[in-house]
Amino acid sequence: MITTSEAGLAGVVAGQTALSTVGKKGFGLTYRGYSIEDLSEHASFEEVAWLLLHGELPLYEQLVSFSEDLQVRRSLPDHLKQILEILPRKSHPMDVLRTGCSVMGCLEPEESAEQQYEIAMRLLSSFPSMLCYWHHYHHSGQRIEVETDDDSIAAHFLHLLHGTPAAEHLCRALDVSLILYAEHEYNASTFAARITASTMSDLYSGITTGIGTLRGPLHGGANEASMELIESYVNADAAEQGVMDRLAAKQKIMGFGHRVYKTVDPRSDVIKRWSHTLCDETALVPLYEISERIEAVMRREKGLFPNLDFYAATVFHCLGIPTTMFTPLFVFARTAGWSAHVFEQRGNNRLIRPAAEYNGPGPRVFVPINERA
Ligand SMILES: CC(C)(COP(=O)(O)OP(=O)(O)OC[C@H]1O[C@@H](n2cnc3c(N)ncnc32)[C@H](O)[C@@H]1OP(=O)(O)O)[C@@H](O)C(=O)NCCC(=O)NCCS
């Protein structure tokens, strides 16, 4: 029984999950028991999404049919397109997705929990379409066709964004990023989604809750903040000086540290290798050098290590993705994890309603408004 509250619930076990382990001794990061190193090396995002939603790795035929099922759910309802068109051009893409998810909940509502799997598939498939439809309408005045025959979410998104199919290794770079972002135990947005599910609300509400919680820079928004930091410096020496100044001013450096990991984020090594490869290939080596110097300064000065968001930023940048779309990419991936958590919560539900330690004033006599000083 917890009697005193830990600030930010740090270290508090708030429930059970069979979905993933984060930072457990002897496990590292696993999704349903499979290591993130193996999954990011050998699996596709679709394979991982199946694993999260079903509990087991798919057989070949299951994966083919799952990918096809995702492919045919990429269209957008006309009413959603109209709403995307009237959203402001300057909206943050996370606000666009949060709104888009909510609108889908009105247009194709979940009328019974039996539809939950179908809705998770629909959202996984249609989020990239929503974002790119809104983006192109407002940035080039085009009403794009949102259905492609690309066989993965990564390839579909890059195709829609750039207007042409992307090279295979670029699709793989994004695919790996989606795998790394797909699931992470009781992180803030997942926990928020589970709380929503625990009230017996619908799946769209759970995912909308997740998107809103993910948006902040202490959570998903850190990848955008990392990019802004990295590209604010002209070279590694300037970055070292700049980060030292920020630390002296007691500012946080986004993309470093973690609530659960204490020495390393196992996802960072994987994404760092992709960052190196892509910065080399796109002649953006200075961005990689700046990133490595910031990492060295953070290790030396604070003993802090990069989390997934730090090197993911340069990977996305090298893929030609606008910075404000970085956190939405996290949404594309984490929709698999959020949905699986909602299914799990629903499978053994009890309302999540913790208690608070009261620290306000003692009982007081009510003073009528005309007698207040
Ligand atoms: C992730 C994070 C929120 C975890 O926070 P937490 O467990 O609550 O830890 P705290 O914020 O209390 O930090 C503990 C100490 O480390 C410092 N610290 C933690 N992360 C830091 C960072 N990124 N830059 C500078 N200092 C940092 C804090 O200032 C604090 O120092 P103090 O004890 O001298 O005050 C935190 O590390 C952070 O804000 N990181 C940057 C945002 C980010 O990258 N988020 C994505 C997470 S995957």
C-alpha of residue 159 to centroid of ligand 1, in Å: 36
Q: Does ligand 1 come within 6 angstroms of the Cβ of 257?
A: yes
- Confirm whether 311 is domain-assigned: yes
C-alpha of residue 308 to centroid of ligand 1, in Å: 14
* CA of 259, closest atom in ligand 1: 7
Q: Does ligand 1 come within 6 angstroms of the Cβ of 8?
A: yes
Cβ-based neighbours of 219, under 8 Å, separated by 6 or more? 187, 188, 189, 213
Neighbours of 303 (CB within 10 A): 10
- Confirm whether 246 is domain-assigned: yes
Cβ-based neighbours of 285, under 8 Å, separated by 6 or more? 279
Q: Supply angle C-alpha 234, 238, 240, rounded to 5.
A: 135
Which pLDDT belongs to residue 23?
A: 81
- Confirm whether 267 is domain-assigned: yes
**Average pLDDT for the chain:** 96
Does the annotation mark 219 as catalytic? yes
- Confirm whether 349 is domain-assigned: no
- Confirm whether 171 is domain-assigned: no
C-alpha of residue 316 to centroid of ligand 1, in Å: 23
* CA of 307, closest atom in ligand 1: 48
Q: Does ligand 1 come within 6 angstroms of the Cβ of 256?
A: yes
* Residue pLDDT, tens place only, 284-302: 999 999 999 999 999 999 9
Query: Which of 12, 218, 308 maximizes ligand 1 atoms within 8 Å of its Cβ, making it the mutation to test the pocket?
Result: 218
- Confirm whether 92 is domain-assigned: no
* Residue pLDDT, tens place only, 240-255: 999 999 999 999 999 9
- Domain tally for the chain? 1
- Confirm whether 262 is domain-assigned: yes
Which of 156, 159, 184, 258 is flagged as catalytic?
258
- Confirm whether 248 is domain-assigned: yes
* Residue pLDDT, tens place only, 310-324: 999 999 999 999 999
Alpha-carbon distances of 368 from 114, 360, 362, 365, 373, rounded to whole Å: 53, 21, 18, 10, 10
* CA of 258, closest atom in ligand 1: 1
* Residue pLDDT, tens place only, 131-172: 999 999 999 999 999 999 999 999 999 999 999 999 999 999
C-alpha of residue 89 to centroid of ligand 1, in Å: 33
Does the annotation mark 258 as catalytic? yes
Can you tell me the distance from the alpha carbon of 342 to that of 345, in angstroms, rounded to the nearest whole number? 5
What CATH number is given to the structural domain containing 282?
1.10.230.10
Q: Does ligand 1 come within 6 angstroms of the Cβ of 218?
A: yes
Residue 231's domain comprises 222-318
* Residue pLDDT, tens place only, 5-48: 678 999 899 999 999 999 887 788 999 999 999 999 999 999 99
Which pLDDT belongs to residue 24?
A: 81
Can you tell me the distance from the alpha carbon of 122 to that of 350, in angstroms, rounded to the nearest whole number? 27
Can you tell me the distance from the alpha carbon of 227 to that of 316, in angstroms, rounded to the nearest whole number? 9
